[in-house]
Structure 1
Amino acid sequence: MAFALDRPGALRPVSAQRGPSVRLAKPGLLRAPAIVARPRVQTNAAALTIPVNQLTDEERGQLARELGYKSIGRELPDDVTLTDIVKSMPPEVFELDHGKAWRAVLISITAMAASLYLISISPWYLLPFAWALAGTAFTGFFVVGHDCGHRSFHKNNLVEDIVGHIMFAPLIYPFEPWRIKHNHHHAHTNKLVEDTAWHPVTETEMAKWDPTTAAFFRVFLGTPLKLFASVGHWLIWHFDLNKYTPKQRTRVIISLAVVYGFMAVAFPALVYYTGWWGLVKYWLMPWLGYHFWMSTFTVVHHTAPHIPFKKAEEWNAAKAQLSGTVHCDFPEWVEFLTHDISWHVPHHVSSKIPWYNLRKATNSLRQNWGEYMTECTFNWRVVKNICTECHVYDEVVNYKPFDYKQEETLFAIQRKIIPDSATY
């Protein structure tokens, strides 16, 4: 349900409307904002017509409930720097513990082996559950390699490179290309165009689409298939040598050779011993499960109706990393198998924090900067907004849906059938 703010603290329902709107009771009264009517805040279409920093604490609390979040933070003051936030955390959260790092490797390998055994003994009707477990375990492989890429796994960089390549190989993820582009994502989080992980579609891009391209993007970015969109990102960004400088290419080629070498050995062996169905059963389906979590973590952590993507000249690092990254609580078994990667805000404040210190770092941020943080529990309402509403960049209201001009059947059906519950 959408609501309007007629005055501070007063909310009333408003009718559903596709696209942004800003309405004032009387024009020209903005000179006295304390006593005039407030602009409308529309949440049913995931569009905000006034910035969060203009809302009272009560209004932000109501907005959070409407959108499925536990809290929506205030805007971080302009004079706060990322260095200020990093220095506020205890030094021990940056310390490496090789025992805990190797324990993650053991957990992921054990969980994957157990999952593959479960797949081998499961009747057909239980295979989806086994695949879901295996895909989550597979994600743990990525998280270990992820820490290696951020130099937060081991004090020896060569060890990190070796472990990173080994853990990424079964995912068919070339380690060095990923490391380069992922570090770029951290340097430009929620910066329009520059963020390589994900950013909204722009009007300029849409104007170039032919009908087939438009239909493709609407289906894959405007439906729950968006939760598998990292497959496209993986293919587009990590295998094209032209996306890397001559200095980077030697290491990129080594990573590609590792991936192709794994495929050349593992895939034929799997087909030889288990058939083509075995390749699908034991690798492809868990791999798709891994991409579900890759996509879901990315969009949930960096996509919210109230969190803007900014142009380079307007971008602020501290706001993007602290206030522009969402903390989301997932089921405990998911967090265990994925090594707490969902405790994501401190990781964006400083990527040098190893996974096993993310909870302590999060608690520190809550104590010192909690009023500026957005938090939620993984739920249908958040997912529904991300899949059906947060599509096209809008400088004023952050996001608008693909069908902001006139509601389309594809989105109308989704809005009716996808649950709107604040639980999952």
Structure 2
Amino acid sequence: MATWVLSECGLRPLPPMFPRPRTGSISTTKPSTSLTSDLKNFQQQTRLQCCSFKERTRRRSWELKVSAPLRVGTIEEEEEGGGGEERISNGVVVEEVGEFDPGAAPPFKLSDIRAAIPKHCWVKDPWRSMSYVVRDVVVVLGLAAAAAHLNNWIVWPLYWAAQGTMFWALFVLGHDCGHGSFSNNPKLNSVVGHLLHSSILVPYHGWRISHRTHHQNHGHVENDESWHPLPERIFKSLDNVTRTLRFTVPFPMLAYPIYLWSRSPGKTGSHFHPDSDLFVPNERRDVITSTICWTAMAALLVGLGFVMGPIQLLKLYGIPYVLFVMWLDFVTYLHHHGHEDKLPWYRGEEWSYLRGGLTTIDRDYGWINNIHHDIGTHVIHHLFPQIPHYHLIEATEAAKPVLGKYYREPKKSQPLPFHLIGDLIRSLKKDHYVSDSGDIVYYQTDPNLSGSSTSN
């Protein structure tokens, strides 16, 4: 740097005036008076010549915007010509890196992201977690009581939208229990998780185990468990009705109950059956417990139907449940699909936990962010599901400098996230299947379906 500055000033750097001796100790003799005088004259001359240099540089733009450390090409890239081209900007050589490849292995490790996240973000506060449960349950009961009391057809649609969203919020808290991010007490997590999930007809342990499989295999074509892509051979084996319904709004947003009973095409098993392919033998008791709790809730709803009448039960519980299912499918689908740039899916040796997790997408839901406990902050949640939901935003901000372009900033939402409906429809038009071969694959489009999702 010093050589460059001096050359810009029209000067040559001086040779070392006090070289270190090759042997013996360093001399501590003071420089002579004449040498000191010569050095002062040199410094004065340097100041005068650099003044004109500073004057010239005022007319230049030396701004450099950097959001991440400069990328250093590997030896292999240099040999293969993959390090990018060089251009001259204002007399400075700048390396132009090629287009970002989301399927390339990242230049950082999972431990690098972990180290960037503040330690307090990992702390689970059961009292704080329970406060969210109390808040949501009070709102759910209050909405139901108000709607039943008013019993007005102007109020009912507002109630359905609000209560369906609150059912979804209850699911997210039970989801935290399933991950163990609710508290460090497994018994507390299990009790709260069963109460919350059973109340909205979700088998807690059955879902918890399959969701764990989803996180452990995120981004893997065959092994992922939630909204994973269909290989071409399975896609083409579907009958026309199933294929059309799967990619036509609103039918994919009603898939969750079907998934609980029979999973996705190409996979077998049920979240209710202890001998399902989803579970190992030592999880049998947990699955039976959750199925019993689910059955008890279903029986309670049947009893309430006799007490208040099926129509009132439909208005108070049935329609909000359907809207909850739509929220669940909508949010979970958009966490893994619908980005403006195609994102990879992996197989074989190309897959890793980190690379799979980096294909998830954060979404902004406006006012809904707080209501559904910031589940849209999804990348860090997928990589580190032990982080409580109330620390996800801070953890994400801390991790962004490490993630660089592997983090995709979500579009800012209006108070209500209507813009995401367009993302959903566009994705269902084009994200249909992936190739049967290849370790890094991208969604392909069936031209026969590309226009079918426009019916909304």
Query: Please, what TM-score do these two structures have when normalized by structure 1?
Result: 0.75
Q: What are the within-5 Å matches in structure 2 for residues 329-344 of structure 1?
A: 329-332=364-367, 334-344=368-378
Residue pair 2:248, 2:453 contacting (<8 A) in 1 also:
no
CA 1:102/1:199 → structure 2, altered by over 3 Å: closer, same or farther? same
RMSD of equivalent CA atoms? 2.6
Alignment-mate amino acid for residue 306 of structure 1: K
Distance in 2, Cα, partners of 1:245 & 1:126: 47
Output one character per residue of 1:281-325: Cα deviation in whole Å (capped at 9) or x when no partner: 12221111111111111111111351122113321221221x211
The reply to whether residue 293 of structure 1 matches residue 340 of structure 2 is no
Which residue identity lines up with residue 350 of structure 2 in the other structure?
E
Cα distance in 1 between the residues matched to 2:111 and 2:126: 26
Residue 206 (structure 1) aligned with residue 240 (structure 2): no
1:381 aligns with 2:422: yes
What is the match of residue 199 of structure 2? 170
Report the AA paired with residue 423 of structure 2. Answer: V
In structure 2, runs of 5+ residues without a counterpart are 1-79, 86-96, 263-269, 412-416
Letter in 2 for 1:190: G
Q: Is the CA contact 2:84–2:98 (under 8 Å) kept in the aligned structure 1? A: no
Shift in Å at residue 381 of structure 1? 3.4
Picking from 106, 118, 121, the partner of 1:93 is 121
Deviations 1:28-49 (A, max 9, x none): xx999989xxxxxxxxxxxxxx
Distance 1:344 1:78, change over 3 A: closer
- AA matched with 2:431: C
SS at match of 1:327: coil
- 1:302–1:324 contact (8 Å) kept in structure 2: yes
The reply to whether residue 217 of structure 1 matches residue 206 of structure 2 is no
Q: CA deviation at 1:400?
A: 2.2
- From 268, 272, 284, the equivalent of 1:249 is 284
Q: Flag the 1:338–1:122 CA change in 2: closer, same or farther, 3 A.
A: farther
RCO comparison, higher one (Cα < 8 Å, 6+): 1
1:399 aligns with 2:428: no
**Do the aligned partners of residues 131 and 385 (structure 1) sit closer, same or farther apart at CA in structure 2, a change above 3 Å counting?**
same
Alignment of 1:15-414 (within 5 A): 55=99, 77-120=105-148, 121-209=150-238, 213-236=239-262, 237-243=270-276, 244-264=279-299, 266-304=300-338, 306-321=342-357, 323-332=358-367, 334-377=368-411, 378=417, 379=419, 380-394=421-435, 398-401=442-445, 403-404=446-447, 407=448, 411-412=450-451, 414=453
Is contact 2:198–2:294 with CA below 8 Å preserved after alignment?
yes
Deviation, 1:133, is 0.8
3-state SS, counterpart of residue 272 of structure 2: coil
Any idea what SS the aligned residue of 1:199 has?
Answer: coil
Where does the alignment leave 5 or more consecutive residues of structure 1 unmatched? 1-29, 36-52, 57-72, 419-424
Distance, in Å, in 1 between the alignment partners of 2:137 and 2:296 is 20
Distance 1:85 1:164, change over 3 A: same
Identity of aligned residues (%): 24
State the AA in 2 paired with 1:99.
W
Deviation at 1:221, TM superposition (A): 3.0
TM-superposed CA distance for 1:54, in Å, is 5.4
1:132, distance to aligned residue in structure 2 (A): 1.4
Verify the 8 A CA contact 2:244 2:452 in the aligned structure 1.
no
Given that 1:184 and 1:195 are in contact with CA atoms closer than 8 Å, whether structure 2 keeps it comes out as yes
Structure 1: how far apart are the matches of 2:308 and 2:404? 52
CA contact (8 A) 1:174 1:255 kept: yes
Sort the Cα spacing of 1:413 and 1:133 in 2 relative to 1 into closer, same or farther, 3 A. Answer: same
* 1:158–1:397 Cα change, 3 Å: closer
What CA deviation, in whole Å up to 9, does each residue of 1:81-115 have, x standing for no partner? 22322222111110011221011101110121122
CA drift of 1:173 comes to 1.0
Change (3 A) 1:271 1:294: same
Q: Is the 8 A contact 1:339 1:355 kept in 2?
A: yes
Matched AA of 1:294: L
C-alpha spacing 1:119/1:214, structure 2 compared with 1 (3 Å): farther
Q: CA deviation at 1:354?
A: 0.6
Paired with 1:397 and 1:190, the residues of 2 have a C-alpha distance of 10
Alignment check: 8 A CA contact 2:337 2:427 kept: yes
Runs of 4+ in 1 over 6 A off after TM superposition: 30-35
How far apart in 2 are the matches of 1:315 and 1:125? 51
SS of alignment partner, residue 410 of structure 2: strand
- Between the aligned partners of 2:154 and 2:260, the Cα distance in structure 1 is 30
Mapped contact 1:192–1:312 kept (Cα < 8 A): no
Closer, same or farther: CA 55–131 of 1 in aligned 2, 3 Å: same
Residue type of the alignment partner of 1:293: W
Corresponding residue for residue 38 of structure 1: none
Q: Aligned in 2, Cα 1:279/1:354: closer, same or farther, shift over 3 Å?
A: same
Cα contact 1:222–1:391 (8 A) shared by 2? no
Give SS of 2:363's match: strand
TM-score by length of 2: 0.70
CA distance in 1, matches of 2:249, 2:351: 29
Matched residues in 2 for 1:346 and 1:32: separation? 30
Measure how far apart 1:129 and its partner are.
2.6
State how far apart, in whole Å, the 1-side matches of 2:302 and 2:347 are: 47
SS in 2 for 1:328: coil
Task: Give the aligned residue type for 1:182.
Answer: H
